[in-house]
Chains A and B, each alone.
Chain A
Amino acid sequence: MAHHEEAVVRTPVEYAYERKKRSDQMKMQVVTFALMIFLTLIAFIAVNAGFSPYYVAPIILVFAGIQVVLQLYYFMHMNEPNMGFISFFMWSGIFIAFITVLCFVTIIWWHTAW
């Protein structure tokens, strides 16, 4: 093939370092997962406890936002270098999503008899 071949030849030290780095990253992912489970538990408990929706709704929405950012930046590696273009795609998509939802919930009125 036409592409120039990047032959990767690692010394044993470099190899051990790479493995260690990936293993540390994996530990970080497990911590992220624990945090996501924790946020989910708090959200379900807060709703079950029957506090006023005016307090609980914003809190669980913020929790959902945090979980999504954790998923995108840690599980999907958007925190790595050279992801600027991709972050631009994703945040543009999120911006349009926000505008769409805001528009629909504020502009549509349904008169119902019951």
Chain B
Amino acid sequence: MDVNKEFTAQTWPDHPEQATLEGKNKFVGFWLFLACEIVLFASLFATYLALKNRGPASMGEEFTTQSLFELPLVFAMTMVLLTSSLTSVYAIYHMKNHNFKGTQTWMGITVILGAVFLALEIYEFNHYVHLGFHYTHSAFSSAFYTLVGTHGAHVLLGLCWITSLIIRNNKRGLNLYNAPKYYVAALYWHFIDVVWVFIFTVVYLMGAM
């Protein structure tokens, strides 16, 4: 099937992301990648849980999860990221209806919400570092920054990815060439939210108790 063929909403396939062989391969390959990402984050979570509130004997109780974390900020970050997951669902909904403008708009909103999330995370890390809780402060700080920072790096990558998708396909319109690209980018964004659900529960909420 010619990937550059032009479609209308009436002729657009039900599963445009899997209508070509390349799309099918991307789809399965991307899910396999996400399964591997689960294992990557599992190792970071396991390390964090093992080293939580631990460090050199001189570390003191100044920097423990109870004294460090501020839940209102985490709550705001959670709401922003959860909402951005819904906006990317809207983008794919419009993609399946062959409404390119809708796809672009909702992907744009997703990027904005993702950028807000990232800005809040940078503010949070900056705040901790100014308090003296930097990366090499203790085993706890290293494990914390590595876990939450790896998630933040995923958010940053997702932002760059979706932004470049929006820009470089802007004049092309929807076809079977870029439908799988939008679809897997949305999958990646949902996965970022999946990981954050465990970060806010295991790191922040269980840390604040």
Whether A76 contacts B190 by the Cβ 8 Å rule is: yes
| Residues B164-209 near A (CB distance < 8 A) | 187, 190-191, 193-194, 197-198, 200-202, 205-206, 208-209
CA separation between A3 and B55, bound complex, in Å? 59
- Determine the interface band of chain A, counting residues with CB < 8 A from chain B: 35 or more
Tell me, yes or no, whether B54 is within 8 Å of chain A by CB. Answer: yes
CA separation between A25 and B21, bound complex, in Å? 26
CA separation between A5 and B3, bound complex, in Å? 11
Q: Residues on A close to B: CB < 8 A?
A: 1, 3, 5-10, 15, 18-19, 22, 25-26, 29-30, 33, 36-37, 40, 43-44, 47-48, 53, 56-57, 60-61, 63-64, 67-68, 71-72, 75-76, 85-86, 89-90, 92-94, 96-98, 100-101, 103-105, 108, 110, 112-114
Q: A97-B39, A112-B57 are in contact. List 13 more A-B contacts (CB 8 A).
A: A7-B11, A29-B93, A40-B78, A60-B201, A75-B85, A76-B190, A85-B28, A89-B35, A93-B39, A97-B38, A100-B39, A100-B45, A110-B50
